[in-house]
């Protein structure tokens, strides 16, 4: 909004100031068009004076002619925008869904009185059908299909399926290990608390209630491949999406905590050519872009806000964002793993060249997430110290990689990267961690509430940043990928990367390959 004459009365836009909170600020309503950073609730306050009448009724006589139609159209506009913004998240809020459905039924009954609203009501009908709002007293839906997390793919037919968005109520299969590395497989909600997970494990192990109440009750522990361990608190939720790449859940008594050791490495540390040596860099880069686009499309815009505003408490609503961040880390470690498992100097130099090609093609595909991940992986200290390998790299590729390093240089707040990104047109996949960094800066740099005032300017800045994500995804990604057996094999390889994320082990492999390198 520009110019004082265009702003509604009572609106203030100065930094650090905003609307006086005289009455309770309704959840789900905000002037930035994104809804509140809190959980969604129907914008009831905007319905005052514009409630739809039941069939057979008539508009109040006190309204001037046409006023009723304008107010009803305004309510419809708010409702349509609200549904468009929240969509899938409403399925997790039964109370919100019930209110929306009640409004929808009233609007449908009111159609006979206001034929001019038919087009808007048709849009509303289509949105309600798309969102499939739940109401508590409805017939329960059929049993849900259990979804796999990408790190837990073991069957090729699962990893080849198109990714769909996760919700907290989705069910997954998960292995929980014992101190002797035996395990039980449980079926659990993605948002399950540690207490719920332990209850399922206890049931599988047939622990008695008396035993569970004593001091030798089970605790849930995360164990990383490096040996780091952490006991999870019973109230913690959504632990599945926050595990490290090769971290696992262990259930044990507190006495057995010190004896926990990581599982053996899941990939053999032996020489031999893997899939990357047999596939063209174009195919790997295109499959990386296609998969990361699927993951990026699954993230709701509000997950970025929840991640920054709520932190640990926002995990319930940020599962898809957490998975994309883990995938970015996974690709970084994949680069180092593949290079350090290649013993032949000649093959290793050729693979280094191929990885730089993959980064170049990802940049050409406007997949900056994959591009960044590959470049960061090549800058891993265990890789950059391989002097003999880098010396065998052709000069053309050395210069190309220097350009890539300049592009990913964080100096001047990633100025070079931001300039390149600004020139790109959708569809594109940004480097998501940088978006979260910007949002965190906006959030922590100024308070949301100060002396009873809402910092509207801050919320507008955050909304503007989130809208850029909508712009990046405003057009579909069009990549021509064949469905031949070899391409399906490449697709499966890219979607279930096996990596070493233990930096100590990576250094150990690096020194074995080139002991004297600096």
Q: Which long-range contacts (CB under 8 A, 24 or more apart) does 505-509 make?
A: 505/225, 505/265, 505/269, 506/333, 506/336, 506/337, 506/340, 506/380, 506/382, 507/381, 507/382, 509/269, 509/340, 509/341, 509/382
Range of the domain at 96: 67-131
Do the domain assignments include residue 144?
A: no
pLDDT the model gives residue 106: 74
- Kindly state whether residues 372 and 503 are assigned to the same domain: yes
List C-alpha distances in Å: 260 to 217, 241, 331, 379, 426.
16, 22, 28, 32, 48
Q: What pLDDT does residue 377 have? A: 98
Residues 180 and 315 in one domain: no
- Which of 232-241, 308-317, 327-336, 443-452 has the highest average model confidence (pLDDT)? 327-336
E-strand stretches of 92-181: 171-177
User: What CATH number did the domain enclosing 290 receive?
Assistant: 1.10.840.10
Report the Cα 65 to chain-centroid distance in Å. Answer: 49
Q: Is residue 269, in this structure, part of any structural domain at all?
A: no
Q: Do 351 and 290 lie in a common domain?
A: yes
How far apart, in whole angstroms, are the C-alpha atoms of residue 404 and residue 401?
5
Answer yes or no: do 198 and 85 share one domain.
no
Q: What is the pLDDT of residue 477?
A: 94
CATH of the domain at 236: 3.10.20.90
In a domain, 49, yes or no: no
Shared domain check, 466 and 344? yes
Instruction: Say yes or no: 482 and 345 in one domain.
Output: yes
Phi–psi pair at 144, nearest 5 degrees:
-80, 150
Using the structure block, give the residue that is written with the tokens 């522990």. Answer: 221
Q: Among 85, 115, 131, which residue terminates a domain?
A: 131
Residue 210 pLDDT exceeds 60: no
**Do the beta carbons of residue 428 and residue 472 sit within 8 Å?**
yes
Same domain membership, residue 329 and residue 245: no
pLDDT above 70 as % of the chain:
71
d(CA 33, CA 433): 24
Q: How many C-beta neighbours within 10 Å does residue 103 have?
A: 20
Return the number of other C-beta atoms located less than 10 Å from residue 94's C-beta: 15
Nearest Cα residue to 393 out of 405, 406, 402: 402
Q: Is residue 122 part of a domain?
A: yes
Range ranked top by mean pLDDT from 105-109, 171-175, 304-308, 353-357? 353-357
Alpha helices in 365-514 (DSSP H): 368-378, 381-384, 387-391, 395-407, 411-423, 432-445, 456-472, 485-495, 503-513
309 and 403 housed in the same domain: yes
* CA atoms of 450 and 413, how far apart (whole Å): 28
Taking only the tens place, the pLDDT of each residue in 388-439 is 999 999 999 999 999 999 999 999 999 999 999 999 999 999 999 999 999 9
Q: Mean of the pLDDT values across residues 323-334?
A: 95
Work out the mean pLDDT of the chain and round it to a whole number: 79
For helices 395-407 and 368-378, angle between their N-to-C axes, nearest 10 degrees: 120
Distances (CA, A) of 330 to 166, 258, 374, 377, 469: 19, 28, 10, 10, 22
Three-state secondary-structure class, residue 36: coil
Give the tens place of pLDDT for each residue, 249-271: 999 999 999 999 998 866 655 55
Inter-axis angle of helices 118-131 and 94-109, to 10 degrees?
150
Residue 95 is predicted with a pLDDT of: 60
Residue 8 domain flag: no
Q: 379: buried, middle or exposed (CB in 10 Å: 19+, 13-18, 0-12)? A: middle
196, containing H or E segment: helix 194-205
Lowest-pLDDT range, 68-82, 156-170, 212-226, 286-300? 156-170
Instruction: Give the pLDDT score at 50.
Output: 40
Q: Which two tokens stand for residue 350?
A: 């050729």
Q: Residue 358: is its pLDDT beyond 90?
A: yes
Average pLDDT over every residue of 433-460: 93
364 and 498 belong to one structural domain: yes
What is the b/e burial string over 475-485, where b = at least 16 CB atoms within 10 angstroms of the residue's CB? eebeeeeeeee
Q: Indicate whether 450 belongs to any domain.
A: yes
Residue 269 is predicted with a pLDDT of 55
Lowest mean pLDDT: which of 97-101, 353-357, 452-456?
A: 97-101
For residues 155 and 282, the model is more confident at: 282
What does the pLDDT read at residue 103? 74
Q: State how beta strands 171-177 and 183-189 pair.
A: antiparallel
Query: Is the preceding omega at residue 407 within 30 degrees of 0, hence cis?
Result: no
The model's pTM: 0.72
Name the residue with higher pLDDT: 242 or 213.
242
Q: Is residue 121 included in any domain, yes or no?
A: yes
Total number of domains constituting the chain: 3
More confident residue, 9 or 510: 510
Are residue 250 and residue 347 in the same domain, yes or no?
A: no
Half-sphere exposure at residue 355, Cβ-oriented, CA atoms within 13 angstroms: 28
In a domain, 145, yes or no: no
pLDDT of residue 47: 40
Specify whether 306 is located in the same domain as 427: yes
pLDDT at position 98 is 67
Does 400 share its domain with 340? yes
* Confidence at residue 68, expressed as pLDDT on a 0 to 100 scale: 72
């Amino acid at each position: 909004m520009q110019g004082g004459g265009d702003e509604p009365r009572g609106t203030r836009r100065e930094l650090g100031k905003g609307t006086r909170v005289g009455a309770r600020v309704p959840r789900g309503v905000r002037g930035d068009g994104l809804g509140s950073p809190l959980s969604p609730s129907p914008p009831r306050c905007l319905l005052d004076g514009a409630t739809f009448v039941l069939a057979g009724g008539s508009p109040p006589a006190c309204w001037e002619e046409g006023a009723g139609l304008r107010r009803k159209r305004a309510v419809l506009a708010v409702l349509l925008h609200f549904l468009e913004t929240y969509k899938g998240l409403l399925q997790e809020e039964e109370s919100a869904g019930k209110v929306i459905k009640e409004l929808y039924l009233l609007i449908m009954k009111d159609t006979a009185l206001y034929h001019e609203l038919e087009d808007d009501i048709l849009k509303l009908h289509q949105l309600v059908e798309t969102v499939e709002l739940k109401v508590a007293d409805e017939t329960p839906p059929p049993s849900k299909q259990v979804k796999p997390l990408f790190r837990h793919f073991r069957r090729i037919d699962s990893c080849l399926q198109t990714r769909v968005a996760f919700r907290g109520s989705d069910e997954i299969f998960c292995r929980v290990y014992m101190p002797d590395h035996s395990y039980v497989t449980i079926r659990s909600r993605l948002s399950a608390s540690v207490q719920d997970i332990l209850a399922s494990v206890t049931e599988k192990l047939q622990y008695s209630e008396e035993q569970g109440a004593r001091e030798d009750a089970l605790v849930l522990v995360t164990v990383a491949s490096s040996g780091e361990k952490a006991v999870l608190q019973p109230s913690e939720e959504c632990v599945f999406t926050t595990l490290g790449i090769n971290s696992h859940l262990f259930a044990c008594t507190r006495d057995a905590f010190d004896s926990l050791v990581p599982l053996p490495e899941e990939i053999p540390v032996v020489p031999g050519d893997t899939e990357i040596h047999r596939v063209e860099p174009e195919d790997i880069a295109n499959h990386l872009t296609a998969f990361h686009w699927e993951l990026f499309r699954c993230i709701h815009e509000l997950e970025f806000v929840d991640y920054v505003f709520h932190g640990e408490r926002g995990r319930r609503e940020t599962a898809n964002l957490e998975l994309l961040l883990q995938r970015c880390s996974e690709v970084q470690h994949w680069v180092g793993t593949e290079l350090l498992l290649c013993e032949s100097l000649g093959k290793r130099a050729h693979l280094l060249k191929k990885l730089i090609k993959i980064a170049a093609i990802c940049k050409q595909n406007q997949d900056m997430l994959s591009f960044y991940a590959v470049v960061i992986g090549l800058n891993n200290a265990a890789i950059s110290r391989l002097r003999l390998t880098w010396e065998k790299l052709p000069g053309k590729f050395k210069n190309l990689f220097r350009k890539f390093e300049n592009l990913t240089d964080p100096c001047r707040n990633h100025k070079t990267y931001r300039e390149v990104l600004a020139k790109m047109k959708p569809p594109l996949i940004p480097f998501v961690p940088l978006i979260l960094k910007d949002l965190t800066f906006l959030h922590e740099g100024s308070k949301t509430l100060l002396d009873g005032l809402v910092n509207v300017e801050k919320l507008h800045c955050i909304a503007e940043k989130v809208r850029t994500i909508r712009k990046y995804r405003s057009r579909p990604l069009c990549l021509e990928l064949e469905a031949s057996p070899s391409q399906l094999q490449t697709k499966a390889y890219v979607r279930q990367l096996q990596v070493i994320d233990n930096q100590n082990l990576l250094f150990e492999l690096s020194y074995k390959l080139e002991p004297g390198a600096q």
